[in-house]
Structure 1
Amino acid sequence: MAMPMVTVTDLYEQRVAEGRLTRDAAQEAALPEFERIRAALAQPVKKGLFRKAPEPPKGLYLWGGVGRGKSMLMDLFVESVDVPARRVHFHAFMQEMHAQMHIERKKGTEDVIKPVAKRVADELRLLAFDEMQITDITDAMIVGRLFEQLFLAGCVVVTTSNRVPDDLYKDGLNRQLFLPFIELLKDKMAVQELASPKDHRQDRLAGAQVYFSPNNAEARAEIDRIWQELSGGQEEPLVLHVQGREVELPRFSNAVARSGFYQLCGKALGAADYLKLAETVRVLIIEDIPTLGRSNFNEAKRFVTLVDALYEAKVKLIVSAADQPEMLYVEGVGAFEFDRTASRLREMQAEGWGQ
């Protein structure tokens, strides 16, 4: 017996009834677009010699501010779809594409994008991207050709972004070469703004403690709880491309990254790496910040640079540390300069920071 179809709206109503979601008019306004695509993909594909494959439905480009529920709606949508689909963070997907193109180059393939796009399209009817943003010239040059091939193969693309399509790769190098891609997006995807006045992520963190000291089992348990709530149990690595290098953070979800202190400050990373991180994430969780001084002077210097980058970009910071900000760096060269960092760490704990 065929299972009754569950619509995206059904799933949304179910979550509201269970108390897992708060009803939001802007989110509800986006549901018909998701439902349009789900219903079209649910139509059986009639096979036969003279039967032309049905025209795929237009995709969806859902944009809006941080914490408005874009990723959550995407999750509901993917859950409701009964065709081969993949939901992936845009950064992670582009990372994969670079790796596959590299393999094709080694084989001597002339047009490396075609076989890579074909593999994706052969496996999937729906690609759901989270957090589309293009900050890198190599991504900008590849993405247009890649999407063109996916659309030609009948793959439906749904994506979320913090920016309207016309602002993608804004002020980027050779941006005029990227403009046809923006037109292609607008042609193949319905563009919808999620204009909720409510930042649900900030609501979840509103008034909540974000600085945990001392760094004990209780602090770890509380940070685990916050991570679970912000990530919804979904995570993947984040790979940043910075000046030809790769910087990897193992845990990333919905524009929230989680890392240990030494992963970020114990490696030879610099301002460019931290600036890239700050423009990519909206919330950063750093665990196990030790007391700082002569013994870990280089790590301390990097931490100061990291906090400056996060502060300027208004990133929400959640940390577990050996002591309160003012007591983290009390002896040795640099203790005086750390006063400003301590002051920033205090300011970043204030309710409403990062809005």
Structure 2
Amino acid sequence: MDVAAEAGGSVLAARYVARMAAGDILPDAGQAKVVTALSRLEQRIATRRLARKSSALGWLFAKRDVQEPPPRGLYIHGSVGRGKTMLVDLFYDCVAVRKRKRRAHFHEFMADVHARIFQVRSDMKAGKLKDADPIAVVAKALAEEAWLLCFDEFHVTDIADAMILGRLFEKLFDAGVVIVATSNVAPENLYEGGLNRALFLPFIKLIEAHMDVVRIDSPTDYRMEKLGGARIWYVPGEHGTPAEVDREVEKIWHRLAGADGGAPANVVSGGRNLRVPKAGGGAARFSFADLCEAPLGASDYLRLARTYHTLVIDHVPVMDQDKRNEAKRFITLIDELYDKGVKLVASAAAEPEELYRGTEGAEAFEWARTVSRLHEMRSADYLARPHGRGDSQASGNTTGLVET
């Protein structure tokens, strides 16, 4: 399978082949088809940018009668764990766009859109802006900020999203924005069974008119393969010396993040950046101190749970009454990870039952729930859950935002 030759020698294809050669990625015909489609889009974007180099925004806003249409985007769908996120991450890193691009989990992007629409309406009401279509105003601002949008976990469960998507995307496509999206469902199955779905159907047609639809047919669930059979809760003494435990966790991390071990990243939460020490392959790695000794709260943990399908946490300590604040943060963290089906790998000073020794306050009572969840998170049933859908499957806000 010569992916590089098939894709015309693109940067993306070359990097994918290099990762296969390093053993980081297994040969996979389903992924190869998507690599080819992404590589061709990468090359179309590079060619067009060279042709329009004299005007960075010219091809976005020039009149249609003198401009050929922008490259068609891509809608990539398939079952969980097939490598969709990894492939789009590679595309995002390799594509010849340095500034005006945005990588976002879809529902967090929509939360941003709703906030912008609310602000535009408020400004109009206050007389700061002339009356106009708020969605058109927001779409124009988004297009000026980024003409390449990459969405992960594209799915629609919120009627408020469903009712504005058609108008929003129509304006974005008219502005020449190129969209690449991953989803677990085909376009025709978006918002299936949703309220007033007939009003949503034109949006599906819009996707098909402006994006090529590619299904990833890989037979392997790589998330399950990477964690299947591996111990995911390590206790020094029970599972080796501290150094041996650290080495085992490091091995699992490289399975998840890739041979290079990932890189630092930032996650946007409440208008500020959360520092992620290492991220790669849709997973993130922290020390316990990074997550529970820092002034973080439920909204921060929710952002992380929406953004990453797996968290690796090093050196969870035994906590007593003096560490009740850290214990409370850990309880909140596990609640958010569990609710969103996030997989957890951890090294800890003890089994869950022995980690908290406080006897006063709510934490002492809430810890029993945390213990139960930590044990369930090791089970095959939990590991098979799709990311974004944990025990409570009702929530429509299931993703987070990463900007790099």
TM-score by length of 2: 0.65
The answer to whether structure 1 residue 153 and structure 2 residue 175 are counterparts is yes
Equivalent in the alignment of 1:317: 344
What code does the residue aligned with 2:21 have? A
1:11 deviates by 3.7
Name the SS of the counterpart of 1:323 in structure 2. coil
Assess, with a 3 A threshold, how the Cα gap between structure 1 residues 148 and 217 changes in structure 2: closer, same or farther.
farther
1:216-235 Cα offsets, whole Å, 9 max, x none, are: 78877876775576453263
1:112 deviates by 3.0
Q: How is 1:339-350 mapped onto 2 (pairs within 5 angstroms)?
A: 341-342=370-371, 344-350=373-379
Assess, with a 3 A threshold, how the Cα gap between structure 1 residues 220 and 182 changes in structure 2: closer, same or farther.
farther
The answer to whether structure 1 residue 59 and structure 2 residue 86 are counterparts is no
The alignment of Structure 1 onto Structure 2 pairs a total of residues equal to: 344
CA contact (8 A) 1:210 1:317 kept: yes
The answer to whether structure 1 residue 24 and structure 2 residue 1 are counterparts is no
CA contact (8 A) 1:257 1:283 kept: yes
1:158 deviates by 0.9
Task: Report the Cα distance in structure 2 between the residues aligned to 1:262 and 1:137, rounded to whole angstroms.
Answer: 37
Q: How is 1:163-178 mapped onto 2 (pairs within 5 angstroms)?
A: 163-170=185-192, 175-178=197-200
Task: Report the Cα distance in structure 2 between the residues aligned to 1:350 and 1:136, rounded to whole angstroms.
Answer: 30
Task: Report the Cα distance in structure 1 between the residues aligned to 2:101 and 2:77, rounded to whole angstroms.
Answer: 19
What code does the residue aligned with 2:180 have? V
The answer to whether structure 1 residue 196 and structure 2 residue 218 are counterparts is yes
Equivalent in the alignment of 1:354: 383
Choose between structure 1 and 2 for higher RCO, CA contacts under 8 A separated by at least 6 residues: 2
Task: Report the Cα distance in structure 2 between the residues aligned to 1:181 and 1:125, rounded to whole angstroms.
Answer: 20
Assess, with a 3 A threshold, how the Cα gap between structure 1 residues 211 and 147 changes in structure 2: closer, same or farther.
same
CA contact (8 A) 2:234 2:245 kept: yes
Assess, with a 3 A threshold, how the Cα gap between structure 1 residues 157 and 210 changes in structure 2: closer, same or farther.
same
1:198 deviates by 1.4
Name the SS of the counterpart of 1:146 in structure 2. helix
1:73-125 Cα offsets, whole Å, 9 max, x none, are: 22333444335652402245445545554554434353333233224434544
CA contact (8 A) 2:148 2:178 kept: yes
Task: Report the Cα distance in structure 2 between the residues aligned to 1:89 and 1:253, rounded to whole angstroms.
Answer: 15
CA contact (8 A) 1:212 1:320 kept: yes
1:167-191 Cα offsets, whole Å, 9 max, x none, are: 4345556555444323322222122
1:354 deviates by 1.0
Task: Report the Cα distance in structure 2 between the residues aligned to 1:167 and 1:336, rounded to whole angstroms.
Answer: 43
Assess, with a 3 A threshold, how the Cα gap between structure 1 residues 305 and 54 changes in structure 2: closer, same or farther.
same
Q: How is 1:25-174 mapped onto 2 (pairs within 5 angstroms)?
A: 25-44=29-48, 45=51, 52-83=66-97, 86-91=101-106, 92-98=108-114, 100-101=116-117, 104=120, 105-106=122-123, 107-108=128-129, 110-122=132-144, 124-170=146-192
Moved more, 152-161 or 9-18: 9-18
Assess, with a 3 A threshold, how the Cα gap between structure 1 residues 121 and 35 changes in structure 2: closer, same or farther.
same
What code does the residue aligned with 1:180 have? P
Equivalent in the alignment of 1:327: 354
Task: Report the Cα distance in structure 2 between the residues aligned to 1:136 and 1:274, rounded to whole angstroms.
Answer: 22
1:27 deviates by 0.5
Assess, with a 3 A threshold, how the Cα gap between structure 1 residues 330 and 127 changes in structure 2: closer, same or farther.
closer
* Residue 211 (structure 1) aligned to one of 229, 233, 236: 233
TM-score by length of 1: 0.72
CA contact (8 A) 1:236 1:253 kept: no
What code does the residue aligned with 1:59 have? G
1:152 deviates by 0.7
1:62 deviates by 0.6
Assess, with a 3 A threshold, how the Cα gap between structure 1 residues 94 and 31 changes in structure 2: closer, same or farther.
same
Equivalent in the alignment of 1:243: none
CA contact (8 A) 1:130 1:254 kept: no
Assess, with a 3 A threshold, how the Cα gap between structure 1 residues 225 and 140 changes in structure 2: closer, same or farther.
farther
Extract unaligned runs of 5+ from structure 1: 241-245
Name the SS of the counterpart of 1:235 in structure 2. strand
Moved more, 154-163 or 102-111: 102-111
CA contact (8 A) 1:83 1:125 kept: no
Task: Report the Cα distance in structure 1 between the residues aligned to 2:63 and 2:190, rounded to whole angstroms.
Answer: 42
Assess, with a 3 A threshold, how the Cα gap between structure 1 residues 247 and 326 changes in structure 2: closer, same or farther.
farther
Equivalent in the alignment of 2:263: 233
Extract unaligned runs of 5+ from structure 2: 1-7, 53-58, 385-404
What code does the residue aligned with 1:321 have? A
CA contact (8 A) 2:92 2:103 kept: no
1:40-85 Cα offsets, whole Å, 9 max, x none, are: 3344447999972112232111112333111222233344433565
1:317 deviates by 1.7
What code does the residue aligned with 1:324 have? E
Task: Report the Cα distance in structure 2 between the residues aligned to 1:175 and 1:49, rounded to whole angstroms.
Answer: 34
Task: Report the Cα distance in structure 2 between the residues aligned to 1:171 and 1:89, rounded to whole angstroms.
Answer: 25
Moved more, 314-323 or 212-221: 212-221
